[in-house]
Amino acid sequence: LPFKIGSVYYCNRQESPLAREVSAERVSLEQLANISDILIVCASLNDSTKHIVDATFLKNMKESAFLINTSRGGLVDQNALVEALKMNKIRGAGLDVMTPEPLPLSNALASCPNVVLFPHMGSATTQTREDMASLTVDNVLAALKGKAMPAPIS
């Protein structure tokens, strides 16, 4: 594993074949909070995942741990995160996504010295944006021709 990572853990509803490729161990959500030094949130936002990182989850994290969210702002209870950051319950956070976006400077997260906020730019590479535009064009052209779209949103 790169960066001298000793272990990789993940939490998902089912086993991941990709996880086996890096010898990742599947654990419960509570275990994930307890054992992670750096916890990266990668999930879709739906009714079952909204605020999946809440006050209880943050309380279960190590005081030396970092939380990184690059998925959806609604996955993290931001009020609970602000409290955890201000009380030093976790070491810090890095957020590429927040609720709302853009986050107003008056928001309590903006005043936390142990958080890094990015303006939702995780996919902002030239190649990614070109690929996204190309895929959109391919979808539109296929739909106009009555063909199956290569990447439909369901």
pLDDT attached to residue 122: 67
d(C-alpha 15, C-alpha 5), whole Å: 21
Tens digit of each residue's pLDDT (9 = 90 or more) over 122-151: 667 788 888 888 999 999 999 999 999 998
Respond yes or no: is residue 120 known to be catalytic.
yes
d(C-alpha 36, C-alpha 10), whole Å: 10
User: Which DSSP category does 149 fall into?
Assistant: P
pLDDT attached to residue 1: 66
60-69, 78-87, 101-110 — which is least confidently predicted?
A: 101-110
Phi first, then psi: what are they for 67, rounded to 5°? -110, 130
- Of the listed 51, 59, 62, 120, which one is catalytic? 120
Averaged pLDDT, 91-102 = 93
pLDDT attached to residue 2: 67
